[in-house]
Amino acid sequence: MPKISNKGKNMPESPIRKLAPFAEIAKKKGHKVYHLNIGQPDIKTPEIAINAIKNINLTILEYSHSAGNESYRRKLSEFYKHQNVAVDYDDIIITTGGSEALLFALGTIMDQGDEIIIPEPFYANYSAFSTASGGSVVPVISTIDTGFALPSISEFEKLITPKTKAILICNPGNPTGYLYSKEEIMQLAALVKKYDIFLIADEVYREFIYDGDSHYSVMNIAGLEEHVIMVDSVSKRYSMCGARIGCLVSKNKEVMATAMKFAQARLSPPTVEQIACEAAIDTPQSYFDEVISEYRERRDTLISELNKIEGVIVTKPKAAFYCIAQLPVDNADIFAQWLLESYDLNGETVMVAPAAGFYSTPGMGLNQVRIAYVLKKEDLISAVRVLKEAIPIYNSNRLKKLIAAQ
């Protein structure tokens, strides 16, 4: 029988999507499933983007430039300049989602056996993208006790070897909701310059910041232009996850020229979606004001309700729309599957993402889950009520099984 590649075997399973079959079975039973597992906002996409698609007047749906439509890149450049991120249109390659931008970035800088350092917990696909690029992730642990703040620079330095090619951060953070301060970013900047490696920043949640804090982009760091690669996406900014449009941004000309080879190999990003995204840049600020206000209220509702559950540990996220919650259960993977397979409260249950899949250190995050507060407040309250009632029943059943096995 033909053999599967080791690379394929080593590709990690998504902690966000792997329980989907169990959710489908729960729904077939007639259960309502509250999806807290995936960052799919229920916020409406800006009308201006939808109308751009409706009003397309093309006779041929052509390839775009491999780097993306120049008109879109020029408009995106102006968008960033309004955010005090000074980049030119030729510093930007449009990609099929932020995922492809990450694949291009890692493919550009990594050879077989190379390493990339990432504070964990981290977006699970970073590990998959590293594997696809022939490299591996070296984790540096951040903890729930500190709200998942940046680990000390000395911890990073311990891990740097001749194989280290980059440090990768998500700012604001998925799955933690942590927002790195300017001071933390500058510490990383000094480190990558000292060791002559790259700093890759996934900044797709840059708009979703609460409580008067502000986002500091890696692209703002003077003197670090050759070391910095930024990844961005429209998925969350405009609630356009299905558009699959992102971008890779860097002032390093060799990085961009190399990434362009990958862009050419996949021909071009989607044409129709670029038209919608170009239009979306004109979305009024009032849209974001309303969205951010809504997410802030959802965050506050979720954290308040979670804190009512005995034994739950959760820190208030500063940004994005995720949090990591530590539950009083022995194994969040088993608990999450049990919720879908074997439990309902008046016909309702919950789907969460077990957090162990967001760590690469064995044994970490076993009793933690990532929760995406992308549902309306009433649904968040109902979902947490299900968790509150389910936890003691689950623990009782596990104890009975343990006793019976002895």
- Alpha helices by DSSP H, listed for 29-110, are 47-54, 70-82, 97-109
Looking at the predicted structure, is the pLDDT value of residue 406 above 70?
A: no
Pairing verdict, β 322-326 and 92-95: unpaired
Percent above pLDDT 70 for the chain: 99
Whole-Å CA distances, 182 to 69, 93, 96, 158, 189: 33, 26, 29, 23, 10
Looking at the predicted structure, is the pLDDT value of residue 39 above 90?
A: no
Domains in the chain and their CATH numbers?
A: 6-44+285-405 (3.90.1150.10), 47-280 (3.40.640.10)
Q: How far apart are CA 319 and CA 314, in angstroms?
A: 14
Question: Chain-centre distance of CA 213, in angstroms?
Answer: 20
Q: How far apart are CA 149 and CA 118, in angstroms?
A: 13
Task: State residue 401's pLDDT score.
Answer: 74
Answer for the pair 255, 166: CB distance below 8 angstroms, yes or no: no
Number of other CB atoms surrounding residue 249 within 10 Å: 25
Answer for the pair 368, 332: CB distance below 8 angstroms, yes or no: yes
Which helix (H) or strand (E) covers residue 193, if one does?
A: helix 182-195
Q: Work out the average pLDDT over 47-75.
A: 97
Partners of 364 in the β-ladder: none
Task: State residue 11's pLDDT score.
Answer: 84
Percent above pLDDT 90 for the chain: 91
Per-residue pLDDT tens digits for 353-364? 999 999 999 999
Number of other CB atoms surrounding residue 153 within 10 Å: 15
Using 50, 70 and 90 to split pLDDT, how confident is the model at 405? confident
Looking at the predicted structure, is the pLDDT value of residue 372 above 90?
A: yes
Nearest to 234 by CA among 250, 245, 223: 245
